[in-house]
Amino acid sequence: MISNKSGPGSADVPLLSLADVTKHYRPGGLLARSAAPVQAVSGVSLEIAAGATLGIVGESGCGKSTLGRMVVGLEKPTEGEVRLRGTALGSMSRPQRRAARYDVQMMFQDPYAALNPRMTLARIIEEPLRAKGGLTRQQRRSQVRQLAEETGLAAGQLDRYPRELSGGQRQRVGLARALATSPALIVADEPVSALDVSVRSQILNLMTALQAEHQLSYLMVSHDLTVIHYLADHIAVMYLGKIVESGPPAQLFRSPAHHYTRALIDAVPEPTPGRAAPLSSIRGELPSASEPPSGCRFRTRCPAAAALCAEQEPPLRAFGPGQLAACHFPLTEAGADGSPPPGPQAHDTKEAAS
């Protein structure tokens, strides 16, 4: 069996890296030639270390799901490279690609749609093991039992069908299946969005425990800032195919530099009555991804937009420690050497808004 656990220079090469990844979709149909391509993802660079969680946050149409699909190999980037342990997915040999497929697994938002309704849970969880091969039936069965136990499924449920389960249990099955091939990375696309609050906490607890146990990495894609804040070690905020800001959660939430990040934080409905929700600072609609605005893509909805924003695209610059943002008129001072930005106004922006 091919082992891909020992990539070249595995000590300092990140588990996963995206280098300037771009994905354009050409619209299908009769008018395809004349229509502008949809720029789903544009020039995104990211890294995920082993055992860490990268959270990608943004609203529908920002390209976050496309990004996740490229990482698991469901989509090929138009430009740029997705590298697993330093090797680009596109340049892998067949056996390497096969190994990579088991090394990166996916968990979906709607576990019901993602599970074969005609298979029992045991069969669903076993399926990736069968595909991977190399195990006897007995070994597979004992692994399925172990996976079920780890994800909190009762052994008695294994001969049931997905329709007999609650949403939370289905998501446990989704996790068990994703874990079956002992992946290093799980791409989780809105894994708890469809769940009730109490069940959401159960799944997040489980994901946290499994991460610690298996040194798992997560690429967590969500529109929900509270979920991203809870689980991610590093956050990337996407808008219209581009990363507009990234950084560690504490830094990003304490002093967001980009106006879009700030708007997202302000829009989180806090379960605290009496605290007047700040009026949403951004207005209008997400522009078309086929014809993104010139310069800064956020400028059409930005409260601080000026002429410069239409002329020049702002580059990603360093702000606080580990924080990058692409804005001409940021909310905090850019730090040239990654030092914390000065100014007391940078702190506790969330509280200041109330």
Partner 1 sequence: MKRAGEVGGGPAASGPVYDGPVLRVTGLDVDIRLRRSVVHAVRGVSLEVAQGETVGIVGESGCGKSTLGLALAGLLPVNTEVRGSIRLGDRELAGVGERDLRRVRGTEVGIVFQDPMTSLNPTLRIGVQVGEALRVQEGATKAAARAAAAEMLDLVGLPRPNEQLDRFPHELSGGMRQRVVIAAALVCRPRLLIADEPTTALDVTTQAQIMELFDRLRQTLGMATLLITHDMGVVAGHADRVFVMYAGREAETGRTAEIFDAPRHRYTAALLDSVLRLQTERKSELATIPGRPPDLTVAGAGCPFVPRCPAATAECSAQFPPVSGSGSHHWLCHHPAVQDEDSRVTEAPR
Applying CB under 8 A, which residues contact partner 1? 59-60, 166-168, 196-202, 204-205, 208, 223-227, 229-231, 249, 253, 263-277, 279-280, 282-283, 285-286, 350
The nearer residue to partner 1, 286 or 304, going by C-beta atoms, is 286
Nearest distance from C-beta of residue 190 to partner 1, angstroms:
12
- Catalogue the long-range contacts made by 69-77 (C-beta closer than 8 Å, 24 or more residues apart): 70/18, 70/21, 70/23, 70/41, 71/16, 71/18, 71/104, 71/185, 71/187, 71/219, 72/104, 72/105, 72/106, 72/187, 73/97, 73/100, 73/101, 73/104, 74/106, 75/23, 77/21, 77/22, 77/23, 77/41
Nearer to partner 1, 69 or 200 (CB): 200
Comparison of 133 and 273: residue with beta carbon closer to partner 1: 273
Give the orientation angle of helix 137-150 with respect to helix 167-179, to 10 degrees: 130
* Residue 341 CB, nearest approach to partner 1 (Å): 20
> In angstroms, what is the minimal distance from the CB of 109 to partner 1?
12
How near is the Cβ of 154 to partner 1 at its closest, in Å? 13
Nearer to partner 1, 7 or 167 (CB): 167
Query: Least distance from C-beta 243 to partner 1, angstroms?
Result: 18
Backbone angles phi, psi at 331, to 5 degrees: -75, -20
Q: How many residues does the chain have?
A: 354
Nearer to partner 1, 21 or 57 (CB): 57
State the CB neighbour count (10 A cutoff) for residue 279. Answer: 8
Q: Which is nearer to partner 1, 143 or 201 (CB)?
A: 201
CB of 39 to partner 1, least distance (A): 17
